[in-house]
Amino acid sequence: MAIAIRKPDEIAKLKRAGEIVGKTLQYLQNEIKPGMTLKEIDALGEAYIREHGAEPSFKGLYGFTGSVCTSVNEVCIHGVPDDTVIKEGDILGLDIGTKLDGYYGDAAITMAVGKISEEDEALIACAKDALYYAIDAIKPGLRFKELTKILEDFITQRGFVPLRDYCGHGIGTKPHDEPNIPNYLEGKPNQGPKIKNGMVFCLEPMVCQKSGNPVLLEDQWSVISEDQLRSAHYEHQVAVVDGKAVILTEA
């Protein structure tokens, strides 16, 4: 497994792609209101990405039809934009990828649509807090499996479980690259490759309530937990620079 070490000029290009992702997520959070359809949200996201000089990298990727993964309520990841109307009290996952000058950006949030329950607030907070907690722990010499254990421990200590079979990943001149970074540990944490300066990757805690076993819906994209309860997803793209993780996908 060869994990790319990126030069400073490459990291700068990845940051430019990533910043457009962050700005698009921020823009959509401000624009989304109850009564909108997922297709309308997708169109807003695609237009914003293109206006800022990038391509929506998810459009057509592996056959995906949208530019924004729109995952409502129990859908954890890869929700397909359709005519579903969002309503007050829903939670909505937005996962966005960009391509700019041959380099990729990728990040995700789960947001409230209007006022949501305290239980949903706690679910979203778990995904978001796990992400930032893990980012703070990143340093050269830490093994990726140790990072996985940090994510899993944080999620389970909050009373939730990570979605299985899906993971964070390397990113660069391909949208998905080595290494895979699950949110649950298989094997021992003191095995496998170590994090080094210059590595760029995406962490994305995917948080379920009772079961982490995934179920793929009929559209062959949307993933829910077998418990059929609401779930949450957060993601940032980071570069390891001068001994710590720098987030590339903040607005």
pLDDT digits (tens, 9 = 90+) for 135-193: 999 999 999 999 999 999 999 999 999 999 999 999 999 999 999 999 999 999 999 99
Is 102 exposed, middle or buried, given 0-12, 13-18 or 19+ CB atoms closer than 10 A?
Answer: exposed
Percent residues over pLDDT 90 in the chain: 99
pLDDT surpassing 70 at residue 17: yes
pLDDT recorded at residue 122:
98
Of 248, 60, 70, 79, nearest in space to 170 by CA: 248
Contact criterion met (CB below 8 Å) for 237 and 249: yes
For the chain, state the CA radius of gyration.
17
pLDDT tens figures, 103-146: 999 999 999 999 999 999 999 999 999 999 999 999 999 999 99
Residues 6+ apart with CB under 8 A from 226: 211, 213, 214, 215
pLDDT surpassing 90 at residue 16: yes
pLDDT recorded at residue 248:
98
What is the rounded distance in angstroms from the CA atom of residue 248 to the CA atom of residue 239? 7
Is 218 exposed, middle or buried, given 0-12, 13-18 or 19+ CB atoms closer than 10 A?
Answer: exposed
CATH superfamily of 8-247: Creatinase/methionine aminopeptidase superfamily (3.90.230.10)
The model carries a pTM of 0.97
What is the torsion angle, in degrees rounded to the nearest 10, for the CA atoms of residue 25, residue 30, residue 36 and residue 41?
-20
pLDDT surpassing 70 at residue 210: yes
Confidence of residue 212 (pLDDT cuts 50, 70, 90): very high
Range 37-62 average pLDDT:
98
Range 65-73 average pLDDT:
98
What is the rounded distance in angstroms from the CA atom of residue 232 to the CA atom of residue 55? 26
Per the DSSP assignment, residues forming a β-bridge with 55 are: 99
What is the rounded distance in angstroms from the CA atom of residue 40 to the CA atom of residue 46? 10
49-76 CB burial, b ≥16 within 10 A, e <16: beebebbbbbbeeeebebbbbbbbbbbb
pLDDT recorded at residue 115:
97
Domain range list for the chain: 8-247
pLDDT recorded at residue 1:
63
Helix (H) or strand (E) holding 86: none
pLDDT recorded at residue 130:
98
pLDDT surpassing 90 at residue 44: yes
